[in-house]
A and B are shown apart, each in its own frame.
Chain A
Amino acid sequence: MGLISLTTFFPVLGIVIILFISKKNLLAIKMVSIVFSFVPLVIASYMWLHYKYPMTGIDLESQFQFVEHFAWIPAFHIDYFVGLDGLSFPMFWLTTLLSFISLVASWNISKAQKGYFALFLLLETSMLGVFVSLDFFLFYVFWELMLLPMYFLIGIWGGPRREYAAIKFFLYTLAGSVLMLLVMLALYFNVKDPVTGSHTFNMLHMMHKSNQSAWLTTFDVRLWLYIALFIGFAIKVPIFPFHTWLPDAHVEAPTAVSVILAGILLKMGTYGLLRISYPIFPDIAKYTSYALAIFGVINILYGAFVAMAQKDLKKMVAYSSVSHMGFVLLGMAVFTTAGINGAVFQMFSHGLITAMLFLLVGVIYDRAHHREIAGFGGLGVRMPVYMGIASLAFFAAMGLPGMTGFIAEVMVFIGAFSVYRVLTIIAAFGIVITAAYMLWTMQRVFLGKLNPKYEHITDINGRELFTLIPLGALTIFFGIYPLPVLNMIKVPLNYLITLIH
């Protein structure tokens, strides 16, 4: 068993163990799940140390690392084919990190803990699976598998309107993924394995024009397939106007689930576009790039404006995610080195930052039992440490230099400006709006006179700090020294750009 499989399926082992633990033995359940999510993080970090930077990945199996490839269902030409390249590795690592942190942050889950932790581990496995899969079928299975634990995690452990949010999330994403299924099958029947001559689900084979059938090379067909696939991914991102599931899901989901939702799940949409849509349909990607850029700009501004109007702290953060994902889209749409690298770096960066933000919301929700922004006020007096970390996170989200968000956003702007000047200028105005709503929110929560209701509120505790500090530290570390990530992503992404041009 290779390292990837080990990492991916290690949490499943944890599930098995948890199932055998009595549901009364809470400590054991929690510890097992934390340990079984920590080990993947260790393995993934170890893999990072052994990562070979110059390998391009994208469409050649030989350029992938840690590859495991063997037949799974020969009759349908489905392979168990996993591997990592610079595009997937940061997300892979981030997933292990955020899963671990989320599980630590789930310590206070108050009901049906056994189910919660088991489902969470299942979620981790499915997310990792999405990022490592190079076989479309495998990818799809993991992609869908993710929905089940998510549905339950939101639906059982969520807030008051959890049922609504959970089913909405479920239906929305399923609607998107059935389109993906359609495209997957269409591709399957129109792509030949160059060696055996049979149909194949191998993504990498799909990317080579020589393997595609004549039908698949006609423009209209490609366009429609691309659009169908795009909608599938767009719902996940979420791209305006498919975003309405997101605020609901976030508001109702428990803190740790929000972290995963915003930190990882949203990235899957853009990851899918980069991993699948772009290399398979480079011409269409280019053809539709202007539309994508416009979507990006709409996301940036629309998300920011709507975020500003929110009264619920978590909803505000959720819409800020919509806004920040817009940067990813804009960067992806321009096919310049700076743009696309900035986009992927933004995926990584936003994963860290938004995770912090949601954890912070969780901290305060645990104490105040509400998230009404107007209902706080002056908390900085009683919670100085919390305010400090929250400031860091908010500044990071505002794109303050010295943190990852800044580099990513500026790279996106630089990359985009050379292609779409006006759009970029419009998008750049988002930084003003972002600053406005972030600071306004901070002010309403922390600054001003202390709301007498919270005279006795306690500051952040050690466990919560334990979840936040690594993220904060990484945000700053990669904000100052982004090379470890950038060096990893640049090779495949630059190669991807050459494919598209």
Chain B
Amino acid sequence: MIQIALFIWLLPLAAFVINIFIGKRLPRKGDWVSIAAIGASLVLSSILLFRVITGYNPDFSLHASLHWINLGGFKLDMGFYIDNLAVIMVTMVSLVSFLIHVYSIGYMDGDPLYNRFYAYLSLFSFSMLGLVLWDNLFGIYMMWELVGICSYLLIGFYFTKDSAANAGKKAFIVNRIGDFGFLIGLLVVFNFLGTFNLIDIQQDIGRGLLSGGWLTAAGILLFAGAVGKSAQFPLHVWLPDAMEGPTPVSALIHAATMVAAGVYLMARLSFMLSFDAMMVVAFIGGFTALFAATIAITQNDIKRVLAYSTISQLGYMIMAMGVGAYTAGFFHLITHAMFKAGLFLGSGSVIHAVSHSMKKIGMEGDPNDIRNMGGFKNKMPITHWTFVIYALAISGIPFFSGFLSKDAILGGTLAFAMSQSNPVYYLLPIFGFVAAIITAFYMFRLIIKTFYGKPQLKKLYEHVHESPLTMTVPMMTLAFLCLYFIYTLPSLGPVGAENGWLMHLIQKPFSAVAVQLGRPVYGITPQAEHFAHVNGLIISIVFALTGIVLAFAFYFWKTINVEKFTEKIKPLYTLSLNKYYFDEIYGATFVKGLLVWNQILAWFDQNVIDGLVNLAGRVMRVFSVFDGLFDQYVVDGLVNAVADITLGFGRGIRKIQTGQIQNYILGALLGMVLIIILTMI
């Protein structure tokens, strides 16, 4: 299996190398190379998945590694750690990636940098797969950075657009801030345990080699990486901007896979989160879920709505990891990957159609703006129906995947809150449930505005048409994967996936922290769990439906006048529309501050450091007897500090060479007398 995993991992790399160097000269600009590579990876990972499912062993794991760096006192091993989590994740990644590769044939058709696009996609697949497969934090960190670079390259793919270039840069730098925490976390771990290997770390923590405050710190620091990559508050600002990238990229990287890497990392590291760390994770996740959802309501850019939705959903997952609902969080990761990728592909299809139409009618404008759309359902039936399925899934409507996973999360948070004495923990389920209403609301707002109602721009509408098969087939595939039974097999009960293969295979790993403390970190009683599940189920269905109904009330039936309503809550509306001004605040503080600080330092460098002794020279000048001479002093090509003084002295000393022979003799005699006097004293 390790060999298979190796192939899964390396095939996209090979495709990348081929495409980046000779892709341009290959037939079809080499897209088939990348597609074939990721297709092969998909097939191979399906084999793995098949084996895992047939094995049906929750504790299955494989580990193989070799020395990468061995310096005696410092070793780094690199290897694969393959367990159910990794296999399912790998399958998901290669599947989504494959679908998006296929989709891009249609979407990116005719782009001048077509081959480069595929090369980047391959590189991304490679890095993402590596991130999933590596057995150690260091390797994960490496791949983490690599996916970041791919993300940078792909966001800035249309690099002639300033906004795209800015977005790419912003994404990378904001991620780097998170990675900074990640790196420090790595250092803490290595400092205490001397290893990066996940298995060793788990054992060592179990033995208590890293505990207390440092353990919490390590957990939070590593989580910082996840905050950056999964766009959690307060580092969420990059993801909406990242929508400047081509839509398939948004679907692959900024919805399904890379942004989920943070969640995956938390899943991988769940064993080392202390209670405090978990609470940080949970509250940041929960807050983000709600916070991002409130922004999504007011956005008019179709992709931005989805971007905030992604942030919100990732918040859910993170929150799940924080409260220990590990399985639920991961489950949501998988289902979310499907429907969110689908949503993006759907939006891509719409944007594709709109922009083509715009081109045809010679209209300038933003193809992403939903205010220009409306009534597309007749023109784009496949897009419309798949989109509705995804929306139902994300809103948490029964019979769709999202319902199962979201419900599991909400149930988990509720159970957690119930099992804690402090009522403040009830905030978490409240975040979740409120976000659920809003989610349903904004999703259907989006659908209604795009596909229903009257076309806003008649002429534009005329030229909209359904996307080609290469695009619709992946969309349909993903829509299919949003159906509930995929995840509940072998059972077919629509209300819960507890008996499904996925939740069976992914069970909470043994928490090293719990072992170390000798007791469970938090005790969720079975009663609480059952109660929470049942109640959570009901509440979430009701809330989801409420959200949908509200959306219809606002935008379809227009029973509530949107304008009037927004007038009423104007301040809130403006806040949400402007994303709570985070970009502006960051821009005014950190970015501006940094630039000003740099200017100060550069000035300092030029004027102070270089001029320090220079300055000393000037001071000397003031005290110098030969003041008059210095006045004409021009730094003759040599601003060099020491020289300033020495040259100054040079000028001064020359004054005694008057040309008068008697002065010379006098000088010599005085010198002699001076020496005699000085030495005799």
Give yes or no for direct A-B contact (beta carbon below 8 Å).
yes
In the complex the two chains form, is B142's CB within 8 Å of A337's CB?
no
Closest B residue to A443 by CB, please name it. B165
Pick the residue among A428, A436, A450 that contacts B160 (CB under 8 A): A450
Closest A residue to B143 by CB, please name it. A401
The answer to whether A407 and B69 touch (CB under 8 A), given A414-B190, A432-B176, A448-B165, is: yes
Q: Cβ of A465: which chain B residues have Cβ within 8 Å of it?
A: none
Q: Cβ of B71: which chain A residues have Cβ within 8 Å of it?
A: 337-338, 341, 486, 490, 494
A431 vs B175: C-alpha distance when bound (angstroms): 11
Indicate the member of B74, B138, B176 with the most A CB atoms within 10 Å.
B74
A92 vs B110: C-alpha distance when bound (angstroms): 49
* CB-contacts of A324-379 with B (<8 A): 336-338, 341, 378
Number of interface residues of A (CB under 8 A): 64
Q: Mark B5-20 against chain A: 1 for CB-CB distance below 8 A, else 0.
A: 0000000000000001
Q: Mark A259-291 against chain B: 1 for CB-CB distance below 8 A, else 0.
A: 000000000000000000000000000000000
> Which one of A40-48, A302-310, A453-461 is at the B interface?
A302-310
In the complex the two chains form, is A406's CB within 8 Å of B169's CB?
no
In the complex the two chains form, is A168's CB within 8 Å of B146's CB?
no
In the complex the two chains form, is B598's CB within 8 Å of A447's CB?
no
* CB-contacts of B624-664 with A (<8 A): 637-640, 642-643
A167 vs B636: C-alpha distance when bound (angstroms): 12
> Which one of B177-185, B260-268, B572-580 is at the A interface?
B177-185
* CB-contacts of B151-166 with A (<8 A): 152-153, 156, 159-162, 164-166
Q: Cβ of A483: which chain B residues have Cβ within 8 Å of it?
A: 68-69
Write the nearest CB–CB distance from A135 to chain B, whole angstroms. Answer: 29
Closest B residue to A432 by CB, please name it. B176
* CB-contacts of A159-185 with B (<8 A): 163-164, 167-168, 171-172, 175
Say yes or no: is A109 at the interface (Cβ < 8 Å to chain B).
Answer: no
In the complex the two chains form, is B162's CB within 8 Å of A448's CB?
yes
Pick the residue among A167, A401, A447 that contacts B142 (CB under 8 A): A401
Number of interface residues of B (CB under 8 A): 57
In the complex the two chains form, is B141's CB within 8 Å of A486's CB?
no
Write the nearest CB–CB distance from A346 to chain B, whole angstroms. Answer: 14
A467 vs B149: C-alpha distance when bound (angstroms): 25
Say yes or no: is B562 at the interface (Cβ < 8 Å to chain A).
Answer: no
> Which one of A196-204, A206-214, A222-230, A417-425 is at the B interface?
A417-425
A448 vs B146: C-alpha distance when bound (angstroms): 23
Say yes or no: is A435 at the interface (Cβ < 8 Å to chain B).
Answer: yes
A136 vs B91: C-alpha distance when bound (angstroms): 61
> Which one of B32-40, B519-527, B599-607 is at the A interface?
B599-607
- How many residue pairs between the two chains, A and B, have CB atoms under 8 Å in the bound complex? 154
In the complex the two chains form, is A241's CB within 8 Å of B609's CB?
yes
In the complex the two chains form, is A447's CB within 8 Å of B146's CB?
no
In the complex the two chains form, is B598's CB within 8 Å of A309's CB?
yes
Write the nearest CB–CB distance from A408 to chain B, whole angstroms. Answer: 11
In the complex the two chains form, is A432's CB within 8 Å of B152's CB?
no
A388 vs B120: C-alpha distance when bound (angstroms): 12
In the complex the two chains form, is A432's CB within 8 Å of B180's CB?
yes
Write the nearest CB–CB distance from B500 to chain A, whole angstroms. Answer: 36
In the complex the two chains form, is A428's CB within 8 Å of B149's CB?
no
In the complex the two chains form, is B183's CB within 8 Å of A413's CB?
yes
Q: Cβ of A391: which chain B residues have Cβ within 8 Å of it?
A: 153
Write the nearest CB–CB distance from B395 to chain A, whole angstroms. Answer: 38
Closest A residue to B123 by CB, please name it. A402
In the complex the two chains form, is B180's CB within 8 Å of A431's CB?
yes
Closest B residue to A435 by CB, please name it. B176
Q: Cβ of B149: which chain A residues have Cβ within 8 Å of it?
A: 395, 400
Sample 23 A-B pairs with CB under 8 A, ordered by A number. A163-B637, A171-B640, A172-B640, A243-B609, A244-B605, A244-B610, A305-B602, A308-B598, A384-B113, A388-B20, A400-B145, A414-B186, A432-B180, A433-B594, A435-B173, A435-B176, A447-B165, A448-B160, A448-B165, A490-B71, A494-B71, A494-B72, A494-B73
Known contacts A175-B642, A302-B601, A490-B72; 18 further A-B pairs (Cβ under 8 A): A243-B609, A244-B610, A308-B594, A309-B601, A336-B74, A378-B160, A381-B160, A388-B20, A401-B141, A410-B183, A417-B187, A435-B176, A439-B168, A443-B168, A448-B165, A486-B71, A494-B73, A497-B73
Listed from nearest, the 9 A-B pairs whose CB atoms lie closest are A337-B73, A401-B142, A309-B602, A447-B165, A309-B598, A417-B187, A338-B74, A337-B74, A447-B159
